[in-house]
Copies of this chain bind each other. A is one copy, B any other.
Amino acid sequence: MSEPGSPLVRVLAVVGTGLIGGSFAAALRRVGQVGRVLGVGRNPVSLQRARELGLIDEVAGLDQAAAEADLIFLATPVGAMAPMLRELAPRLRPDTLVTDAGSTKADVAALARDILDERCAQFIPGHPIAGSEMTGPEAADPMLYHGRKVVLTPFEDTPGLLLHRLIRIWEACGARLSLMTPEAHDRALAAVSHVPHFLASAYMAGVVRAEDADTRLSLAGTGFRDFTRIAAGSAEVWRDIFLSNRAAVLRELDDFDQALRLLRATLEGDPDPAALEALLEQAALARRFWGGRSQMQ
């Protein structure tokens, strides 16, 4: 789409040069679609490491990023976004595109509207559905977004040209794009990501409270391993996710509660083996269908 010598992004500023930001820079670099990469962040060691690894070309402040970058990619926790947007707002060039990678979108959209005001048209909230248990610049991988979904939640007044530009940039990273409202995004993510994490954590916290927890855990096998893997994630990161997507998470937890009651009813009192099997079969078929269709198996 772009002519030789003219990459999709001439100057990219990555705020937060860990797994998410570092992989974004590396992905664009891999396909020759970025000129220079500025790295912005609070952690000098991490920035230095990102530079050594060739993820960024130079360390910069937010003011330099605002002055020079065509694209500013905010890859920081959602909680750190407000002060950053406040610092960016008065310095933003009118042709600079800003996007983020936060895992909730209604709160980010509200922040952007609030802080950037009429300039929020330059900001397109986004969420790449990709991650790893690893963190930091060392974990950055130019193929992290390859084949993965990226959700964008543009504002009503986002110019089509800007949106189109961001779509092309993500496509250059190998991602598949979805457009949604922030609310639909948050409900969907609550259902397929936040609630599983919540349940795995509740389950794990419960298991260790048993008197013979040690014996029990010594008998845990591969099913337990897979079911609980997400519960090992950062408590701080997930606390923020649950708090920022609280309403949707609570609503989806209610739905889970209903599904659990339904399944449990087939086992309680006078058990109903046929109904139990039918529900288990419904779940098994749905999971196998998803596994067959998904690239993640």
Contacts and interface: CB of A to CB of B under 8 A. Distances in A.
19 contacts: A148-B221, A149-B218, A178-B218, A185-B219, A188-B212, A193-B220, A193-B223, A199-B260, A201-B263, A205-B263, A206-B256, A217-B290, A220-B290, A222-B296, A223-B229, A225-B294, A239-B280, A243-B271, A246-B271
Interface in A162-213: 178, 180, 184-185, 188-189, 191-193, 195-210, 212
Contacts of A220: 192-193, 290, 294, 296
Contact of A250 (B267, B286, B296): B267
B243 A267 contact: yes
B246 A267 contact: yes
A284 interface: yes
Chain A, interface SS category? helix
A234 interface: yes
A206 B255 CA distance: 7
Interface residues of A, number: 92
A159 B35 CA distance: 77
A215 B188 contact: yes
Contact of A286 (B130, B208, B246): B208
A283 B202 contact: yes
Contacts of A273: 239, 243
Nearest to A200: B227
Contacts of A189: 219
A198 B260 CA distance: 8
